[in-house]
Structure 1
Amino acid sequence: MTSALAVDRAFAAIAFKRRIAYKAQWLIALILGGGAMLVSMAMWRYLLADGALSGYDWDSMRAYIIIGFMTATVVFGAADWHIADRILDGHIAIDLTKPVDFQRARAAEYVGSMVSTVPTVLVGVAGAWLLFDPPGPASATAGLLTAVSFVLVFPLAFGITYLTVLVCFWTKRYLGVMWLREALLGFFSGMVIPLAFMPSWLQAIAWALPFPHFTTTPAAIYLGRVDTAGALGLLAAEAAWAVGLWFGGRMVFNHAVKKVTVHGG
């Protein structure tokens, strides 16, 4: 067990160092993400100037947007292309000969790359807090449970990303798959607009998917829109999705590598 954890830490450290080697990415992510957050703030400030929409007033929306910025920066800033390239360029054939679990190694790398986005998140959130002064969590318990939800975003994001990356075994392409995943995640998570603004049937579809746990779940807990029991239920669902996606990815991978084609051979 100790040896396996040491291998995980090594993979995560390599991925982290690979990402921080390009410091310009941090600046670009901060500018793009921060700019999008400012535009969103300005839009919702205008829309909510006269009151509230579906239970969201200007105070709660400020916190909601910042939470969305945090999760979007972490999720969209991770290095999924590195995993896809191992399949597309044939390195998967070499990986299969190594005494290292492919999925676990890629998970460690993915988490390491996600951790590299934390400085961008901290700078962006600090700036947003100074500029917009959003409300704090509904309670100390809500703040703690929000942090737990945010931590669960890491394995949840990997589970979804890993499954979409495995599609490369059949498509031999990844760009379109990535765009589709990001579009679905952005819409059904509530990053684009809160799910509360959508018709009930569309909300039902969203909650049947893992995506709401990226933004809607931590925001609902933070703002006190659910009580402690409801928050624990949302966290349990988030954790269940992370576990289910992990084992789902393992089954798909085991099926995909029954036949691996490399350079047409």
Structure 2
Amino acid sequence: MTTQSLTTLRGHSPRVDLALAVASLKRRLAWRMHWVVGTLLGGTELLTALALWSTVLAERGSIAGYDWDAMRTYYIIGFVTAGLAFGGTEMQAQRILDGMVSIDLLKPVDYQRARAAEFIGALAANLPTLVIGVAVATVLFDPLPPVSFTAGALALLSVVLMVPLVANVIYLSLMLCFWTRRYQGVVWARQTIIAFFSGMMVPLAFMPEPLQVIAWCLPFVHFTTTPTNIYLGRVGELGALGLIAVELAWVIALWYLGRYLWGKAVKIVTIHGG
């Protein structure tokens, strides 16, 4: 049997998306100890970063326009975006590597939409980590409010758009398994690139200008730098709308790139030797 007839993208009901998301959430919560440890460690990482920068900025005053007030707010927002960027599920990678994806091809669902639903379900399991970390950091470090109501709303919109953007990036990395036959290296590379070019490690303003230019040409900058710049008022309202428009364009472009790669990848799957 060939995959020629299986390459057609199938639609499915939103109820299927919901069921897949719930199943993914339950799988993540089934690993209770892993989930509890992740929740505790996630908040600890944020507090450690804030303690470090409080010491550095106490001596320097400000770096590249970031004083302690702005920096602690930046890292609290960055903690949320990091939780979204690294909190999804990637179980489909192993199914691709061991050939079980051939079974998924026979299911009457849109493969890409199904993976997006599973990503959102797994992401929901990270909400306690984000809530606890932000709550403790807010009590201890008192982050700044947004510069305006509009800035706060646009920053929130940017974070919301980040969810499908991250889902698309992870999906594209999953597609590489069809050709690399390995996934761990892809994961490490993706996580490193995201952390560096998004500004999660340090604000992009700290980097040399050539690196900043490269970062702004990539979708990862919208994972942290875009929402924090909007929230802190480092761009005006028109600039914020422009950044969100670009972020939305990346969401659409990567979605269709995923469609294209799936169409190519599915042709190299062999089912029952045919």
TM class, shorter-length: over 0.9
2:267 alignment partner, SS class:
coil
Counterparts of 2:185 and 2:101, CA distance in 1:
21
Q: Distance in 1 between matches of 2:47 and 2:272?
A: 46
**What's the counterpart of residue 160 of structure 2?**
151
1:237 aligns with 2:251: no
Q: Does 1:26 align with 2:74?
A: no
Summarize the Cα distance change of 1:197–1:258 in structure 2 as closer, same or farther, 3 Å threshold: same
Counterpart of 1:78, as a letter, is: G
Q: Which runs of 5+ in 2 are unaligned?
A: 1-10
Distance 2:124 2:40 in 1: 18
Structure 1 residues 31-63: Cα deviation after superposition (integer angstroms, max 9, x where no partner): 322222122112211221131111100000001
Identity of aligned residues (%): 53
In the alignment, structure 1 residue 6 sits paired with structure 2 residue 15: yes
1:66 to 59, 62, 76: 76
- Equivalent of 2:187 in 178, 187, 194: 178
CA distance in structure 2 between the partners assigned to 1:118 and 1:42 by the alignment: 23
For the residues of structure 2 that align with 1:178 and 1:124, how far apart are their CA atoms?
Answer: 25
Higher mean Cα deviation, 201-210 or 10-19? 10-19
- Deviation of 1:262 (Å): 6.5
String of CA shifts for 1:205-259, please: whole Å, max 9, x gaps.
Answer: 0011001111101100111111111111111111111111110011011001112
Q: TM-score, normalised by structure 1?
A: 0.95
Please state how far the C-alpha of 1:115 moved relative to its aligned partner: 1.8
* 1:49-107 deviation digits (Å, cap 9, x = unpaired): 13111110000000100111111112212112x12122112121111112111111111
Distance 1:114 1:263, change over 3 A: farther
Q: Kindly tell me: are residues 17 and 258 of structure 1, through their superposed partners in 2, closer, same or farther at Cα, counting changes over 3 Å?
A: same
Partner SS, residue 214 of structure 2? helix
Residue 62 of structure 2 corresponds to 52
Query: 1:50-199 residue pairs with structure 2 within 5 A?
Result: 50-80=60-90, 82-199=91-208
User: Compared with structure 1, are the counterparts of its residues 228 and 115 closer, same or farther at alpha carbon in structure 2 (3 Å cutoff)?
Assistant: same
Cα deviation for residue 261 of structure 1 reads 4.1
**Over the residues paired in the alignment, what is the CA RMSD in angstroms?**
1.7
Cα drift, residue 263 of structure 1: 9.3
Separation of aligned partners in 1, 2:264 and 2:168: 17
Query: In the superposition, relative to structure 1, how do residues 125 and 168 fare at CA in structure 2: closer, same or farther (>3 Å)?
Result: same
Residues 90 and 263, structure 1, Cα contact 8 Å, conserved in 2:
no
Amino acid at match of 1:23: R
Deviations 1:136-190 (A, max 9, x none): 1111111111111111111000111111111110111100100000000000000
1:205 aligns with 2:214: yes
Distance in 1, Cα, partners of 2:35 & 2:248: 29
TM-superposed CA distance for 1:264, in Å, is 8.1
Quick one: distance in 2 between partners of 1:22 and 1:230? Answer: 43
Letter in 2 for 1:92: V
1:3 shift after superposition: 6.0
Aligned-partner Cα distance in 2 for 1:263–1:122: 48
| Counterparts of 2:156 and 2:100, CA distance in 1 | 37
> What SS does the corresponding residue of 1:258 show, helix, strand or coil?
helix
Take 2:94 and 2:199, find their aligned partners in 1: how far apart are those partners? 30
Contact 1:74 1:118 in 2 (8 A): no
